[in-house]
Structures are given as structure tokens and as C-alpha cells.
Structure 1
Amino acid sequence: MGTSMSSILLDAPGNGASLEDIFTDIRHRVRHYRPHALHGPQMVWKQTNCYVDLWIEVLGWWGLNPYAALPFTITLDFEGDQFSFFKFPFEDLETLYGIVVQEHAIFEPVDVHVEHQVARGNLMLVEVDAWYLPDTRGNSYQSEHTKTTIGIDAIDRERRRVGYFHNSGYYLAEGVDYDGLFGKHGPAHLVPYVERAKRQFKPLEERELCDASLALLARHLKRRPASNPIAAFREQLARDAKTIASQPISYFHAYSFNTLRQLGANFELFGRYLRWLEASGCGGPIDTLVAACDTIASEAMVLEFRLARASARGKEERGESSLDILERAHASLIDGVARIAPPGRVEPNPPFGTLYVPPRPVTAVR
């Protein structure tokens, strides 16, 4: 496996294009890439977390419908010190789209594994240091070491360049950034966590997605928290308020990302899921449920601003009025969702046995 292979785009396995042609397309793709509508200007939270944002873009790029995979967002819970770092469940990706995601063992240099799997038509999800990601310029790039996940679908080991999905976009890293991403700057103490996404089975047709997605919603509804997670957060925030006020603003940013952003972004996505259900004729009426989701999304941001202002002034903020609004909205939402997805609904069968057949070769330009 140590022998260099020609890099092949995930979109076009076996297309025989030269590396120069591939990366000419990659550069064009980077310049003209348009984020999915779930990252559009209408969203209150432009980004959620690196993993969900990446998958939204990957699914959209593959011509798949990411809305159908959002039922899991109804399960968000408060974990005592943070809201759930929500992610698409692997079994849902397989059920709806035939995508099998598994951890990939690392026993050679990471880029060797990535090259081998991309050549097989697989997407490689790699935990990397955002210090080396040029798309984080102005944030983490060459200023802060922080963990994030990227999805790689093109690589040229010889010329040290890689095309990757990250957050709401698609980018190119090369040269010293490539070296940093793949641990070439020195001995690595721990290998990164890596996943392999394989389009193994045929995805469901659009007309099948409604029933399958509603069945997933019924399953996830059974997995919802036993009590209101916002009430639990209220209790913890009351205890944390003094710490937030006494710490540097950087502490607030980390606290807010793992609490209010996850809360607001999660339920904003669930609101977009409900809109898709109605637009597709899968369920309704949903106006009050969408309104509850919109309230959670917007009020979580209001509370974030209030906490930021208090933190900057060294003052305590418990956000009682905002939490009242959030708690009521969540209770209303949970009560209403059961009417759309009765808990007794039959769950879908995974699409075992129907293999995915890659489309004819295409370029990297959408």
C-alpha cells in the first residue's frame, strides 16, 4: 500500500482522468461551490457542528436529500455539562441512502490509507487539527489547535494536496497545510480517528423517503429524553453563571458552542425537517411545530447574546426569561410531534441486498 496510486475523485471512480485534470476540476469546484440550502442565509444558525455540517454538504453533493435524515434531532438531551453533540446515526444513513460508515483502522501513514480508499470510491472522514485548514482563516488557521472533522474525496500524495468537505463548504489544502493535516511535521503521539463512508447499497427513491423517514421519526421519538432537557440546562446554568462571569471570554465561546449552539441549531434543523415533510406531502399540519422549532432556534441565540454581554462585563446571567420561552417551546414541540409519527409506526427495513451502482463518470464541477 505504500506505492503511490493515481488519485481518483469519489464522484467518478475509475474515470481515468489525470491528476492535473482532477485538481483543475477541484480548484474550479472550490471557487464555485454553493452550500446546501440548510446552510443558506435564511438559517438562524449558519453552522451546527463540524460533523453534521459536513454530512449535509456531502449528501447534497451526492444528489441525496439530507432533510429525510433529520428525525434524530428530536432526541437532543442535556448531558449535565453540555447538550448532545448531535450526529447523523450511521444506521439512518444506511437505511435511507445505502451509505455504510465504519471506523477505518490506521496502521500506515494516514494519507496512504486515504489515497487507497478514495481510489476505491470511498469518502474518508478524518479528525484533523484546524490549525492547518485554510478555510478556517480568521478563526483557527495558524492561530489555534482545535480538533475538527473533514471529509476527503480527492488526494494527490506526490504533490501534497487534498480536496475536502468541511463545515458548509468544499476546500483545497496543499503544501505545508497538507503536511500538518497528515502529521508530517513530526512524530504523532496518537493516530487520528478515521471513518470510511462507502456507498454500498442503492439509496431509496424520493417517493420512498417519506415513509422511511417517518418511521425513523417514530423510532427516535421513543428515544427522546424522559424529561425536558432545557429544564435540566436551566439548573446547570444557574450553577455555571458565576464561573462564566469569572473566566475569559474564550471560556464563554466554548461553553456557548457546546450548549446554546447545539440546542438552537439542532431544533432549527428539526424545523426544516418538518417543513420538508409538509412540502413533500408526508405530514401536516405542522405550523405550530415549526413555530416551536423557530422559537428554540432564535431564543437560543438571544440567550447566547445575553450571556456574551454579561461575560464581557464580568457579570452573572442566568437567562431566566429566555429559558422560560425555550422550555415551553420544547414541551409544545414534543407533544405535537407524536401526532405526526405515532410511536407504533413500523420501522423501515435497511436496503440490504441491493448494491449501489456508481453513476457514469462525471467531473468534479456541479
Structure 2
Amino acid sequence: MRAKRHRAHGLHRAERIWRDGADPVDLWIELLHGNQLEPLAMLAYTVAQDFEDDQFTLGRPPREDIEKLYGLQVHELAVFGSLEERALVQTRRGNTVLVEGDAFFLPDMRATHYRREHVKTTIAIDVIDPNARRLGYFHHSGYHLLHGDDYDGVLGTSTAHDAASTGATGTTQGQALFPHVEFVKRARESLGGTPLAEASADLLCAHLLRRPMHNPISRWRSAFPAHVETMLERGEAYARPYASHVMRQLGGNFELLAHYLEWMREQGFDIPVTTHVGARAIASEAMALQCRLARALANGQADLCDASFDIMEAAYERVVPTLAAIVC
């Protein structure tokens, strides 16, 4: 299987400000890289991130971008009979199956959720060996293998076998519902070299036309005092997921944007260095704000982190509006 020869993409091997960015894009980075494709080209969408009043938009590469750049189509997979059967059909066709799985059964989550708690996460399965009860999958920043009870847990094979013995189906009362499943198939050859970079530049322009009408960091700043009060009232159980969906989403997104802009410069596009620097400043300061806020909350204080917001607001203006003025 692939695990012995797969080496994580440079984005996941280099030192990062946000080691764990957005799960969907991290998965796609490794899935594309594992198929000898350049994932940096898909990151144009990062310029369109917005603040949604209580969180930042989750970083997820649009399906249309994936198809335009790499010739890959993503389709929903109808599951009947068993998930194992449907996934086996697709992987034998050379397709990859995207499964909303349970981190409880994923060995690569050993440091956090594996065999500890049930948390939803998406994996990309490309190889299944039903006889050995093994499968290979992309997840987060790498490629991994699992087997045995973990195989049964991810694919629900024990549940499927129990249902078969009683004549039950996937929609029968008392049977667990199938997870959301998609599959990735190749519709045409991927672009490469200059055509890939030019197509990515077109996508950058398209996403800049979708950019927020107002600085999303300024909008977050306006809502932040009320958010801090809520965190003080509800404690760490609320503050931890808040940090994940706000600071991590913002910082991880702009760190990827910084890498993308640097890649575009390497492809010969006249992208100002100030945009790359500004995107990285947002990523770095979002981390600083997270740490500063955590200390304040631990002491029961309402720190509004004005210095961090000053830096990030100004940096955003040097990045997205500047790119829009140049590219579109």
C-alpha cells in the first residue's frame, strides 16, 4: 500500500504557524500531492474568506476549482447494502472515496481522539483489502493504514453483517444511518505547468469578485467584546471550540494564502511581496491573539486584544483589496 512511499507535501513538512489548519483543505493537499498533482494551485479560494458573525468561513476548495485545475470530479456516492461494498467498487475503479468517518477508529489520531472519543472527520480511502480487513487513507497531513477492528469501525462492517443476518437494510429502524460519502473520479487529464498557473490566476480573479464587501476582521472586532463575555461566562468548554472556529480558521486560511501568493510569484505573476507578507502577518497575529486571550480568560479578565486587531485589520487591507485592484 501507499503509506511506505507517500511523503507529505512541503506544506505539511515545513514549519507552520498553524500546524492544524482547516481539515478539508489539508486532506485535499495530500490527496492531490499523492496523485502527483500540485495542490498550491487550488488555494485561490482563500481570498474570499468571510466572518459569519460567530465564526470564519471554513476553508474548503470548491469542487468546480478542483475539476477545472485537475480534471477531477466529486460526486455523492449512494450507499446501499454496505459501505464496504460501495467503497470497494469505487476503489477498484481507481477512484477515491471520501467518507465522513469517526476519529475514534483512526490510528493517526492517536494523540487526540483515537480510542478516546467519537469525533466526525473526513478521510479519503483509495485502497481496500477486505480479506485482510485493511485500508489505506489520506487524512489531515499524511497517508495512513488501518486494519482489524478499526476497519470494521470505519466501514461499519460489523453492523452490516449483523443486518445481513437479520434481513435488515440500511434504512431499517434500529440500524445506524450510513455516513455522508462521496467519490473522486478523473474526468480528464490535469493541467500542468503554465496552463495550470494561468487557470489558477483566473480562479483568483473569480474569487476576488466574491470577496467580502467589508473587512471581515473589522466585523469580527465589533462582535468580539460580546464573544469575550460569553467565553468568561461559559468557560473553557466554550472557549476552546471558539478558538478553533475563529482564530484557527482565520490564521490557517491566511497562512495558506501566503503560500499561494508566493507560489504565484514563482510562476511569474506580478504579485506584490506586501500581499504575501500581509497574509502571513494575519496568520501570525491570529495565533498571538489566541494565546493572549487564553491567558486573560484563565485570569478571569476581558482582554479585547486591541493591538492584535490593529495589526490584522491593517494587514488585511494590504492583502485582499490590493490583490483585487491588481488582478481584477
2-structure distance, mates of 1:188, 1:39: 39
1-structure distance, mates of 2:319, 2:129: 48
Q: State which of 330, 333, 337 in structure 1 corresponds to 2:319.
A: 333
The equivalent residue for 2:187 is: 200
Tell whether the 8 Å contact from 2:2 to 2:143 is kept in structure 1 after alignment.
no
Task: Normalising by structure 1, report the TM-score.
Answer: 0.82
Q: 1:215: Cα distance to partner?
A: 0.7
User: CA-atom RMSD, angstroms?
Assistant: 1.6
The equivalent residue for 2:115 is: 142
2:99 is the counterpart of 1:126: yes
2:264 is the counterpart of 1:288: no
The equivalent residue for 1:356 is: none
1-structure distance, mates of 2:311, 2:27: 30
The equivalent residue for 1:251 is: 238
Paired residue type of 2:8? P
What percent identity do the matched residue pairs reach? 42
Query: What's the secondary structure of 2:311's corresponding residue?
Result: helix
Q: 1:93: Cα distance to partner?
A: 0.6
Q: 1:27: Cα distance to partner?
A: 5.2
Q: 1:185: Cα distance to partner?
A: 5.3
2-structure distance, mates of 1:92, 1:138: 33
Alignment of 1:172-321 (within 5 A): 172-184=145-157, 186=159, 188-284=175-271, 286-321=272-307
2-structure distance, mates of 1:185, 1:252: 37
Paired residue type of 1:252? A
Tell whether the 8 Å contact from 1:98 to 1:201 is kept in structure 2 after alignment.
yes
Paired residue type of 2:238? Y
2-structure distance, mates of 1:106, 1:221: 37
Q: 1:246 to 1:142 in 2, by over 3 A?
A: farther
Q: State which of 53, 74, 93 in structure 1 corresponds to 2:47.
A: 74
Alignment of 1:53-72 (within 5 A): 53-72=26-45
Tell whether the 8 Å contact from 1:40 to 1:46 is kept in structure 2 after alignment.
no
Tell whether the 8 Å contact from 2:126 to 2:136 is kept in structure 1 after alignment.
yes
Q: 1:130 to 1:188 in 2, by over 3 A?
A: farther
Query: What's the secondary structure of 2:19's corresponding residue?
Result: coil
2-structure distance, mates of 1:158, 1:254: 40
Which is richer in helix? 2
Query: What's the secondary structure of 1:323's corresponding residue?
Result: helix
Q: 1:188: Cα distance to partner?
A: 4.6
Query: What's the secondary structure of 2:111's corresponding residue?
Result: coil
The equivalent residue for 1:28 is: 4
Task: Normalising by structure 2, report the TM-score.
Answer: 0.91
Moved more, 218-227 or 158-167: 158-167
Q: 1:280 to 1:245 in 2, by over 3 A?
A: same
1-structure distance, mates of 2:126, 2:319: 38
Q: 1:207 to 1:124 in 2, by over 3 A?
A: same
Query: What's the secondary structure of 1:46's corresponding residue?
Result: coil
Paired residue type of 1:263? L
How many pairs does the alignment contain?
314
Tell whether the 8 Å contact from 2:3 to 2:143 is kept in structure 1 after alignment.
no
Structure 2 unaligned regions, length at least 5: 160-173
Tell whether the 8 Å contact from 1:289 to 1:337 is kept in structure 2 after alignment.
yes
Query: What's the secondary structure of 1:95's corresponding residue?
Result: helix
Q: 1:86: Cα distance to partner?
A: 1.6
1-structure distance, mates of 2:44, 2:175: 38
Q: 1:315: Cα distance to partner?
A: 2.9
Tell whether the 8 Å contact from 1:211 to 1:282 is kept in structure 2 after alignment.
no
Q: State which of 64, 68, 80 in structure 2 corresponds to 1:95.
A: 68
Q: 1:316: Cα distance to partner?
A: 2.5
Q: 1:340 to 1:214 in 2, by over 3 A?
A: farther
Paired residue type of 2:4? H
Structure 1 unaligned regions, length at least 5: 1-24, 343-366
Q: 1:110: Cα distance to partner?
A: 1.1
Q: State which of 109, 114, 138 in structure 1 corresponds to 2:82.
A: 109
1-structure distance, mates of 2:298, 2:135: 39
Moved more, 295-304 or 102-111: 102-111
2-structure distance, mates of 1:261, 1:214: 26
